[in-house]
Structure 1
């Protein structure tokens, strides 16, 4: 869901979710005395050793750019990581992880990664393709019954966001039910049922429409074919082979320390709330995972270059199609935004971006502890555009494919 009109149900849950998964703060509005104290930029320690950092002039320009966009967009805490082989690296944490205590944001924290989860779920599916256990052009009805038009919607249609299935996060009852009790658990079948109440929005394969319903179904396919829980498949068949240590799909609201508090205005009233402990089970295969800077840095080139897949299957993944968003194409669970390959993530309280630029072997990772829009824009998009405008002016991040109201 994206920013609604005042006092109407929210329409942007995990839309990022690229596009993007209410207990309001008590009190709902932070007292004036709790306003965060400005925190200086801090380098990322051994994530970017001093002898490997970008030239001082470029670093200073990035410092100024990052802090400017953070303040203008109202981002409480922000982590920026840039790695450019042959040129250097840049890791900065700025702002606060907790607006009440003033605890500074740190590059070593865990975050909820929202729709970046899609890159993991689709990788699990594509490994099954390589194993000959599924085919991209199989109908979803072969694996999951009861899907509207399921005999004609293929796994490919689901992964490329062209199924025509109504997004369950756009259902008004789902929005009300979630935001009325954001710590409640949801099952995949429950969330799908909200979308199934609506007619399909288009014929399969004809129109790009970001829908978390697609990825929830693909998660069910992975479980059906493997006979294992999706969380276990992701851990054993994707996360570990990629060399990641701190990335997982939680069962509920568990969240390892250290992590920042996450702030959202996706509430029934529009007031800002602390969403840190909200249950992301509603997002599941579409947006429920947790990770950190070190793992996301490793994951960016793995997913963009197809390290875990055969060349033929990766080529299928990278057949990006127009989305209607300028400069942005979408493949099989992956985004191409002016040459940067990867995905963004957004759900209440958190936003992330993890992308890789093959032409320069460059990696960009962003972690934010808010998803509140700024001027109608996702804050992570504003930061990504500003940073890439400095480091890769010929390849400026165009944005996500998050639907907006």
Structure 2
């Protein structure tokens, strides 16, 4: 039986998995309008000649429509709190927080709060790897067996196939034994090798490169590759070689369950070992080590705004490596392709994330120079779909009707 927890972090390319309804009260609340961040080269570039002309100026009237769309998505999904940011050069900005950050105290959500970002971590891990590629320390077509021993098909699977979700390796977060541990001991640490052991207990699903199948196992291996090449812990490499040059000061890779203040509380459904649901619980202090290079990181709205453009434009990479990154493979979802630790959905480039208690969506639309960031303090699906997908669809239907982020796509394959 698939438990709700079992789907965590496998829901990435705007997919849906276990159908479940959030039972905490819906909180529409009043919007908090944060002042626009100061303009900087990293976060608010000047308008470009090819900027999309169909992106509306973010006037009070448009903001009111966006407010209504967010509140509607909150009611539909039962989301306790949400932070939203939408920006485009020359068009203004829309920054809001709705609902509550803590259901116990009823503290309001705030745009400055830290949030867990789940699978958006993949964008940082793969960027760390690609910077090593640019330095000549690794090659995208190197086989994983060169760096990590004991990987099934390790003499055939390349780093490119791992980063592009085409390895064929079983997703450890779909393993029954793993999920029993995660459901019963969510605060206990899990080491990368333990995660690989869960995966490697299963046969490979297809030949390397044969098709797309989303698997957290791939990112655990890439994290180990980065450590092997650099001789440093992954969290240090990402801090020094990715976050620092990107100018991200409120983003971190925790080594355990630490969660700096101020942060929002996150809410998830917890399951019993038999697979029944115990109800919605506060997962704020759960240990994200089980997701490590695939999903353990923390960030905030301001940093993710900057990161969205850095990621989509390849500011930290050579043009040749960024071009390789953006070569996408069909995912089975109309309009959605997956590159190297990055997706392209209807022209929006970036990633989403899901981890117990939190979801995120950080995407950039190069045609308009626009950036969208959505942060939620729940990961409970609605109608079998990611909560962030409903927000993404509602917001882009107003802001970029020619590039609507799909809120109701078909699910990716079970292994994805």
- TM-score (structure 2 length as normaliser): 0.89
- Residues 316-371 of structure 1 show CA distances to partners (whole Å, capped at 9, x for unaligned) of 00001101112110000000000000000001100000000000000000000000
Q: Which runs of 5+ in 2 are unaligned?
A: 16-22, 45-56
CA distance in 2, matches of 1:355, 1:392: 13
- TM-score (structure 1 length as normaliser): 0.91
Q: 1:163 aligns with which of 160, 167, 191?
A: 167
Counterpart of 1:71 in structure 2 is 75
Q: Alpha-carbon deviation of 1:267?
A: 2.4
The range that moved more, 35-44 or 347-356, is 35-44
- Residues 285-340 of structure 1 show CA distances to partners (whole Å, capped at 9, x for unaligned) of 00000000010000000000000000000000000110111211000000000000
Structure 1 residues 105, 310: closer, same or farther in 2, change over 3 A? same
- Residues 117-162 of structure 1 show CA distances to partners (whole Å, capped at 9, x for unaligned) of 0000000000000000000000000000000010000000100000
Q: Does 1:45 align with 2:53?
A: no
Counterpart of 1:343 in structure 2 is 351
Q: 2:8 aligns with which of 7, 13, 37?
A: 13
Q: Is the 8 A contact 1:48 1:91 kept in 2?
A: no
State how many pairs are aligned.
386
Structure 1 residues 372, 48: closer, same or farther in 2, change over 3 A? farther
Q: 2:308 aligns with which of 300, 303, 319?
A: 300
Counterpart of 1:23 in structure 2 is none
- Residues 76-132 of structure 1 show CA distances to partners (whole Å, capped at 9, x for unaligned) of 000110001111110010011111211111100000000000000000000000000
Q: Does 1:181 align with 2:185?
A: yes
Q: Does 1:114 align with 2:118?
A: yes
CA distance in 1, matches of 2:34, 2:162: 38
Other structure's SS at 2:362 match = strand
CA distance in 1, matches of 2:157, 2:271: 34
Q: Does 1:286 align with 2:294?
A: yes
Counterpart of 2:249 in structure 1 is 245
Runs of 4+ off more than 4 Å:
17-20, 35-38, 399-405
Structure 1 residues 9, 398: closer, same or farther in 2, change over 3 A? closer
Alignment RMSD, CA only?
A: 2.0
Q: Is the 8 A contact 2:11 2:386 kept in 1?
A: no
Counterpart of 1:26 in structure 2 is none
CA distance in 2, matches of 1:386, 1:9: 25
CA distance in 2, matches of 1:329, 1:260: 31
CA distance in 2, matches of 1:37, 1:386: 18
